[in-house]
Structure 1
Amino acid sequence: MKKIFLALAVFTIQLGFSQKVTSLKIEKSDNKELSAELDKDKIALYNSNFFKFIAALKSSDKKTMEGLLSPKAKEVVTDVVYKKLSADIDFNKTLEVFKSGYKSTMDGKIYPMIQYKYSDDKSSNPQNIVTAVFENDGKILGIKPKHKEVKK
């Protein structure tokens, strides 16, 4: 008899705590549809800032580099990051646009992004890519060089 009351109590408690959705509203998002590629005016603005940053990185001009970074990036970038970045980018080679588009971040925001490849790499899938993420005003949010290891 105790088992029956226990089972009945469990089902009653579950029924008491269950919730019923009485009204559900679907809100329209403010996000506008983004095209897969950036337009040429945006690419020109972002390229300009990127190459100014690369020139400042090459000459170790910290003031110019910080002027091109977004406030979010300034919070996390240190001298160690600048040194690592300058070691990972080959300044003797010319960078050119490989792809452009948008990148979503962990906070759910979407930012413009351009991937650069070295001009001497003619393959359709380049070995070394430098990805730059920008804020809409052209400030640099992040730069990440990526080197693919060649399998032997």
Structure 2
Amino acid sequence: MKKIFLILSVLSVQFFLSQKAGVKVENNKNANTNTKASLNLSKEEIDLYNGKFLKFIDALKISDRTAMDALLSEKAKKMITEVVYQKLAKDIKTSKKFEIVKTGYKPLIDGSSFPMIQYKYSDDKAAEPKEIITAVFETDGKILGIKPYKITK
């Protein structure tokens, strides 16, 4: 009897002390938030961002730090070190040609979204590419981030 009473009291205490969890959605109107109706990039935007990405890859190929820094946004310059450049040079095969897989906007943790292009190597003919490189840009064309990603199954 004591065990039953103990179990019921523990369960009832948990029930009475539980809290309601509510989610409140706020409209975040940051200057960085891109409120475009379309989720796709225009042809002019793709050409601008793709050109900047290819210039960055060419500079990465010859390890031209000043050229790479000129293509990066101010936010990215603060975080990128020589180790990051070396890791990018190791992970991205700069001798291969790139093909655009997907374009759109990449949402960030703070609620803002920036233009994004995903690339694959042009010699990868699989329906699902094995390696993808995601490049995120600011609206003026400066590179905010580049992330190579290998898909493993």
TM-score when scaled to structure 1? 0.77
Distance between the aligned counterparts of 1:31 and 1:59, measured in 2? 34
Q: Any gaps of 5 or more consecutive residues in structure 2?
A: 1-25
Query: Hey, what does 1:22 align to over in structure 2?
Result: none
Distance between the aligned counterparts of 2:111 and 2:82, measured in 1? 28
Q: Which has the larger radius of gyration?
A: 1
Q: Comparing 121-130 with 45-54, which one deviates more in the overlay?
A: 121-130
Query: Hey, what does 2:104 align to over in structure 1?
Result: 101
Query: Hey, what does 2:43 align to over in structure 1?
Result: 40
Distance 1:27 1:122, change over 3 A: closer
Query: Hey, what does 1:8 align to over in structure 2?
Result: none
Distance between the aligned counterparts of 1:32 and 1:43, measured in 2? 18
Q: Equivalent residue of 1:102, what SS?
A: strand
Distance between the aligned counterparts of 1:64 and 1:41, measured in 2? 23
Distance between the aligned counterparts of 1:120 and 1:34, measured in 2? 34
Question: Does the alignment pair 1:70 with 2:73?
Answer: yes
Q: Deviations over 1:18-56 (max 9, x none)?
A: xxxxxxxx9796863431221110000001100000000
Distance between the aligned counterparts of 2:72 and 2:87, measured in 1? 16
Question: Does the alignment pair 1:55 with 2:55?
Answer: no
How many residues are aligned here?
125
Question: Does the alignment pair 1:120 with 2:123?
Answer: yes
Query: Hey, what does 1:81 align to over in structure 2?
Result: 84
Distance between the aligned counterparts of 1:27 and 1:120, measured in 2? 43
TM-score when scaled to structure 2? 0.76
Distance between the aligned counterparts of 1:58 and 1:66, measured in 2? 14
Instruction: Pick the aligned partner of 1:148 from 124, 147, 151.
Output: 151
